[in-house]
Structure 1
Amino acid sequence: MTADLTAPPVVGALAPYLRRYTSPAQLGLKINAYRGYEIEGLAEALAVPDLADSPVECVMVGDSYFMTHLGRPGTVMSGAAERDWALTTMAGLVDEVRDALDRHFTPDRVPFLLADLPDGATASPAAARQAAARFRAAGADAVKIEVAGDSELACVEAVAATGLPVLAHLGYTPQLTALTRHGDAVDDALGLFAEARRARDAGACGLVVEMVSEPVNQALSRPHPAGLPLYSVFSGRARWGGQSLNLWDAVVRPARPGRYFPPTPVLDAADVPAAYTPGLIADRMRELVRLTLAGWFPLSPRTALGAQQAARIADTDPWSVS
């Protein structure tokens, strides 16, 4: 297969928001951030000549906030009261980040705001619609839904039908599935391709893929008239798609060192209350964005795929049924 090095098409409901570039070396970036002072730091990070036109096109308020800032072990909630608390907390963060984006970015540079539906918000299509409406009222431009089966796809369809852009999160889905890499066998890769098509057909206008093998990531992000824009997390480099960066991870060291985390953090979590400032955030995010645009980050993850298997995945059209 001959690689198409043109930039991916801007499609569907995300078209008004995406800032795509003609060079495949300049990937669209999604930044996970949670608080207004983090947005202040992000804006400062980008206010230098070499990053003046950096392709930061999305800021996502993710439910990983419960792990980063609140120290919880995961994003799964326990019982209805916790799920209500999580939704209320996330809606408040979306409102705070919306205000900060509008204050710290000029109108021509403001990223679109993506809100992550937390655990419990996709218990039913009706619940997903209500949660999405709440986020939209708080200022979200789009929402993300973790997808692991038919019930979540029904939620994607229900929210998309309201006109609010929806991104489907595939691969490792922290609310729904166990921590493992996806797409490290041909059958598993083909299953991910089928899931991506189903998400598209349900009305998703973009994807987030987490912990998928790099060949799968690159196949899904390759330019295709029927494909979707893609942001990747711990999945190597999406050569034609978007990269997701976590602002917290750029500054704060993980509890256990990880090969695929950013090389930029300088703080331990215990030092965050005093030292996690907009100025330090700006310094570390500036470095991480530069490393990403230069191709030094992220690293390619290890894979169980052999050369022939990887070649078969690369030669597969993920957006058409073979």
Structure 2
Amino acid sequence: MRKQARQFKKVGTFLVVCLLLASLGGCGNQDDIYPPNAVYRVTVANLTFNQYFPTVAVIMHTGGYQAWEVGQPASEEIERLAEGGQVVPGANSGAGKWLLTEAVKNPAVVLTRLTLDPYSGLATGILGGGRAQVDLSVPPGGDYRLTVATSLTFTNDGFTGVTDLAIAQLQPGESLSQYVNAYDAGTEANTETEMTVPGFVAFAADANGSLVTDAQGNYIQSKGFGYDPVRDDVNDLITIHAGVVTADQPLGDEPDPVALPEAYAAYLAKKQIKDQSALNETHRFLQPVAKLIVERIS
């Protein structure tokens, strides 16, 4: 009995000491077994004057996923995003499979999110001069990379973002920032008309002003059509965007068609776009068009 009592006393003493040490961080605790998640805050700022960014797709992944590559044809997901601003089913102009819903099929993708309004917490697009953000919580220690993408709605098939950006090197309290260019998806001719630029989206109405729907209950668009599966751009390759042609834009002097036939042909092509362009000077943009900030919160 005395021996057993001494054993209980030793166990009790150990528990008391361990509890005291635990309060000071000395004993092993659950955080040692299950370390807290790494939290990254992704902020996207729109640097343009009047190019609206629809809801921004944010994809956290490891190696093995790349959404696009300059000089290569765009995937259908990028084509849909660039032409119509579509990143999730039901958002921004219709339903279907786009960037996020296709991304999650890739085993390298860890999670997908949309940027949120920092005040309301709701998924939001970004007006010129504005910004939006989202926090991503993932298990620590992964070789994490980031893909961020959105479209420029007052273009035919312009988009912006980064893909396969390494962020695993960031320690808590550290951040990185990157200025981001606009890209041309190369999937739709840059006609700049109100019929083909999604920023001018409008819907058909009856004589009473009520919106008209089709047999499936979908509103019928009258202009600002987005995604078209037919690719009519002669390049069909992703390139750095050359900018838009507006109705207000001066053309400069007309080149001599005999002495400078190539320059004259380019002049005529630009004049044709200018004559039909629905864009004005507020829609023009210079590179870069966005700023991306990634902060490691914890």
Q: TM-score, normalised by structure 1?
A: 0.28
Q: Larger % of helix: which?
A: 1
Q: Counting strand residues as a fraction of each chain, which structure ranks higher?
A: 2
Higher relative contact order (Cα pairs below 8 Å, separated by 6+ residues): 2
